[in-house]
Amino acid sequence: MDVQDDFTSVRSRRLSDDAVEQFVRLVRTGRLQPGVRLPSERRMVELLGVSRSSYREAVRILETMGIITVSPGRGTWICADSDRRAVRLGNPWLAMHERDVMDLLELRQILEVRAVALAAERGNDGELSRIREAQEEIRAAVESGRADDMVNADEAFHLALAEASGNRVLVSAVADLYRHLEGTRRAMITIPGRPARMNPEHAEIAHAVLSRDPETASRTMLQHVRRVEREVAAAIAAGRLSMEGGGEGQSRPPITGK
């Protein structure tokens, strides 16, 4: 098997991030076996469609993770225990962007808990109908099992809630927040059990808003955001500990409340 056949050009987000995820996926699925020597840097840059600087950044991250080893003047190899490390990593994107991810999730709590209460109080019939439709889209997306559908349906639901708040600045802020959260939300789909929890959690939020119960709407949104934040924090810790070889790491404490 020619190792070059397994690599494809990367797109979106930081190119080095996509390159890292591609390596981890190929190791985890057995397409890249421990001990395999990688093609030259020049060839890898061509295969991945990235610049030399992006590829070198990816190599630096992968070496820190223990996925590859670099021997100056000799080449780059897949580490002997890379398969074990790749399995433990889960989705490495979260661990690589820990600070930004946790800051965005904190902002999400500030914006969306208030937005959902306003939606319950102010939403007109058309806006409430859109929330109902968006919830149905989440249910269908979860049943399909398609990650892209789940990510898109989730964003549509939360934007529908913001739009029903009647506050145009809040709508803009939530839309901007979700643009920044795209990578995080795609990574969240890989967290065990998260897709299965999407439908009941969002259904509970929708029910409270459609019942015009702002207090319950705020409470259920707060519970949802905190649950997601705890799951993401745990996933980040797992990825970081794997990169550090299993030692204790310092993480930002999750958002808590009474």
Question: In terms of Cα–Cα distance, which of 107, 98, 251, 111 is closest to 187?
Answer: 98
Q: How far apart are CA 130 and CA 76, in angstroms?
A: 52
Domains of the chain, each with CATH number or no CATH: 3-89 (1.10.10.10), 92-243 (1.20.120.530)
Show the tokens assigned to 178.
């979700």
Q: Let me know: does 131 contact 209? Beta carbons within 8 Å.
A: yes
What are residue 77's DSSP bridge partners?
37, 69
Q: What is the pLDDT of residue 244?
A: 41
Q: How far apart are CA 224 and CA 138, in angstroms?
A: 15
Q: What are the angstrom distances between the C-alpha of 180 and each of 33, 71, 101, 104, 183?
A: 34, 37, 9, 8, 7
What are residue 78's DSSP bridge partners?
68
139 in helix, strand or coil? helix
Q: Say yes or no to pLDDT of 164 above 60.
A: yes
pLDDT band at 248 (very low <50, low <70, confident <90, very high): very low
Q: How far apart are CA 13 and CA 7, in angstroms?
A: 18
Let me know the angle formed at the C-alpha of 99 by 171 and 191, rounded to the nearest 5 degrees: 80
Q: Let me know: does 45 contact 4? Beta carbons within 8 Å.
A: no
Query: How buried is 2 (Cβ within 10 angstroms: 0-12 exposed, 13-18 middle, 19+ buried)?
Result: exposed
> pLDDT digits over 32-86, tens only?
888 899 999 999 999 998 899 989 988 887 887 778 889 888 899 988 877 666 6
> pLDDT digits over 109-122, tens only?
999 999 999 999 99
User: Taking the complete model, does pTM exceed 0.75, yes or no?
Assistant: no
Cβ within 8 Å of residue 54, ≥6 positions away: 14, 15, 16, 19
The number of beta carbons lying within 10 Å of the beta carbon of residue 104 is: 18
Residue 3 parent element (H or E) = none
> pLDDT digits over 1-37, tens only?
566 666 655 554 567 777 887 887 788 778 888 889 9
Q: Let me know: does 67 contact 24? Beta carbons within 8 Å.
A: yes
